[in-house]
Amino acid sequence: MSSGATDTRLVLDGLEVSHRDPDGGSHGKPLLSGVSLSVDPGEFVALVGSSGSGKTLTAMSCLRLLPPGLGISGGSIRLGGLELTRASEQELNRVRGGRLGMLFQQPKRMFNPNRTIEQHLKEPLRLHGGLRGTKVRSKALELLEEVGFADPAKGIRAYPHQLSGGMAQRAMTALALAGQPGMLLADEPTSALDKVLERQILQLLDRERRERGLGILYITHNVASVAAFADRVLVMNSGTIVESGSVGDLLTRPRTAYARELLAAARLAPESRRRPPSREREILVLNGVGKHFGPRRKLGHAALEDVSLTLKRGEILGVLGQSGSGKSTLAKAIVGLEKPSAGSITRQLDATGPREATAVQLVFQEPHSAFDPRMTLRASLQAPLRSRPAQPTDQRDERIAAVMEEVELEAAILDKRPGQCSGGQLQRATIARALLLEPQVLICDEATSALDALTQRTILNLLLRLQRERNLSLIVVSHDMDVVRYMCDRVAVLLEGRVIEVAETKDFFAAPRHEHSRALVEASIPCRADGMWTVLDVARPSAVS
């Protein structure tokens, strides 16, 4: 290894990634072309772009962990004095998780489901930190506390599937920092987190870079989320970097049409469709709903406590809360995937028999996990129709084709498997699958949290159109204040499994009553420490015209 091993400056020069032939040659148009960037120790560089622009591919190239069939076909990647494109597997194993850390976007797909969080953390602490004995566990607990675990001793014993999406992302952050990397690649690490926790994680990373010189290449689709921390911003589109500069320059003087489009999509202005309070009848009534996991009197965890809510016909209700507040548990209880430990959920729907059982449908948070990776989308969409009275195959196919048209997907995608589709395509497909059973209530559990701003806005507008055309009632479960403000008629706020506030959307954002609600609203408007600008500047016409 080079004598410059302690140098952690990351430099990409003319990086090119292409499809590889079995004989090692490349073919087709490069997926990354001429990518050049650098990140100095202690520097925070944001890499911004929409889904499919090449951001994650850039990070995975640095680790030499490209998907099968892809390879580096040109250019250079240097970490200090080490040329990563020519490094041996032994050298790469010493670098990965040590000098060069990776913070992944979808932690539950990256964790080993058979290992506890403690077992995951111990490996880098021993391998790269040199810790032994009780010091390993003590450091693991310290890391979990730093990333926001309220009960680190409980979290360290958990398996990945026992954590909420947000808690899993916190654990992944602890794992990325456990090896004390000199350079960190962070791939959308806060997209599944509420604004309060997002700021907490960003402040933690910022402290690491200021105190020990951690360099950070932060991949995101929303520049506003990192605006208070980033030194420079790089804009990526179609595998190339099309614009670079300071955060202030990008927000106020974007040079490319693509950058302007990203900024416009990042601000979801409140919908003009806002209606007066609904006079329609209530079709869903929750009365004192509770849900406990484990023995209630001993180690049981109360995910929901005395939750009472109503939903009216044609209404869009937002359920807002931080990670671990009970939002997803509530969604699963309403749809019937979890049985309440207390209280009642009453459906007053225009359906009976088998149709009543499927009249409430759930759109899942992680579309890649919502489909069997071995099945085509066609097979996955045919499955729910088999629960209905026997239909000829051609009628089922006609029904699927009609729903695909509703969600604006080409029929050709039906013959693809989930791994061949983008996140936006899969999210449309999950909505299509829910619509097949003609629901009256659609529950969207963080349905756009993993999507880039452009795709997110498209999916939200699709949901609004479907709600109007079908007179659907929607429950939008989210930690994203902008999504709730854009979509919802009313807002219910959850905190530690309890409803602490219910209000009309405009009243909630104008004057939240509960202290926790005020903290959520305030956290959704970050600003630079020097007060130079706030995220609200993005919405100004002069900034994006």
* pLDDT tens per residue across span 469-511: 888 999 999 888 888 988 999 999 999 999 999 999 999 999 9
Q: How many CB atoms lie within 10 A of CB 182?
A: 24
Q: Using an 8 Å Cβ cutoff, are 311 and 282 in contact?
A: yes
Counting residues of the chain whose pLDDT is more than 70, the rounded percentage is 88
Is 70 exceeded by the pLDDT of residue 273? no
Counting residues of the chain whose pLDDT is more than 90, the rounded percentage is 40
* Higher pLDDT among residues 70 and 541, named by residue: 70
- Identify the pLDDT of residue 2: 37
Say how far apart CA 180 and CA 127 lie, in whole Å: 11
CATH number at 10-264: 3.40.50.300
Task: Give the pLDDT mean for 438-466.
Answer: 85
- pLDDT range class, residue 265, cuts 50, 70, 90: confident
Convert 418-431 into a string of H (helix), E (strand) and C (coil): HHHCCHHHHHHHHH
Same CATH topology for 10-264 and 282-513: the answer is yes
CA dihedral of 116, 117, 120, 125, whole degrees rounded to 10: -130
- Sheet with 473-478: list strands edge to edge: 360-363, 441-445, 473-478, 316-321, 490-495, 498-504
The DSSP symbol for 542 reads: H
Say how far apart CA 227 and CA 289 lie, in whole Å: 40
| pTM for the full predicted model | 0.74
DSSP string, 166-206: HHHHHHHHHHHHHT--SEEEEESTTTTS-HHHHHHHHHHHH
- pLDDT range class, residue 536, cuts 50, 70, 90: very low
Q: Using an 8 Å Cβ cutoff, are 391 and 383 in contact?
A: no
- pLDDT range class, residue 269, cuts 50, 70, 90: low
Task: Give the pLDDT mean for 418-424.
Answer: 80
Task: Give the pLDDT mean for 441-462.
Answer: 83
Task: Give the pLDDT mean for 302-315.
Answer: 92
Task: Give the pLDDT mean for 208-232.
Answer: 88
Is 90 exceeded by the pLDDT of residue 27? no
- Identify the pLDDT of residue 234: 95
Is 70 exceeded by the pLDDT of residue 537? no
Tens digits of per-residue pLDDT, 131-152? 888 899 999 999 999 888 888 9
- pLDDT range class, residue 41, cuts 50, 70, 90: very high
Q: At what angle do helices 195-212 and 515-523 cross, to 10 degrees?
A: 60
Task: Give the pLDDT mean for 418-428.
Answer: 82
- Identify the pLDDT of residue 544: 30
- pLDDT range class, residue 446, cuts 50, 70, 90: confident
Q: Is 329 helix (H, G, I), strand (E, B) or coil?
A: helix
Most confidently modeled range among 276-285, 313-322, 380-389, 455-464: 313-322
Q: At what angle do helices 423-435 and 377-385 cross, to 10 degrees?
A: 20
For the chain, what is the mean pLDDT? 84
Cβ neighbors of 500 (< 8 A, separation 6 or more) are: 493, 494, 514, 516, 517
Task: Give the pLDDT mean for 169-184.
Answer: 89
- pLDDT range class, residue 263, cuts 50, 70, 90: confident
Residue indicated by tokens 């560089």: 45
Is 50 exceeded by the pLDDT of residue 297? no
**Kind and range of the H or E run holding 454:** helix 453-470
Say how far apart CA 451 and CA 424 lie, in whole Å: 7
- pLDDT range class, residue 15, cuts 50, 70, 90: very high
Task: Give the pLDDT mean for 7-31.
Answer: 85
Say how far apart CA 460 and CA 342 lie, in whole Å: 33
Task: Give the pLDDT mean for 355-371.
Answer: 81
Angle at CA 468, nearest 5°, toward 336 and 263? 95
Task: For the chain, give every domain's residue range.
Answer: 10-264, 282-513
CATH number at 282-513: 3.40.50.300
- Identify the pLDDT of residue 391: 63
**Kind and range of the H or E run holding 520:** helix 515-523
User: Among 85-94, 155-164, 209-218, 454-463, where is mean pLDDT lowest?
Assistant: 454-463
Is 50 exceeded by the pLDDT of residue 527? no
- Identify the pLDDT of residue 530: 37
- Cα atoms in the 13 Å half-sphere on the side-chain side of 208: 25
Task: Give the pLDDT mean for 8-14.
Answer: 94
Backbone angles phi, psi at 243, to 5 degrees: -160, 145
Most confidently modeled range among 7-16, 407-416, 531-540: 7-16
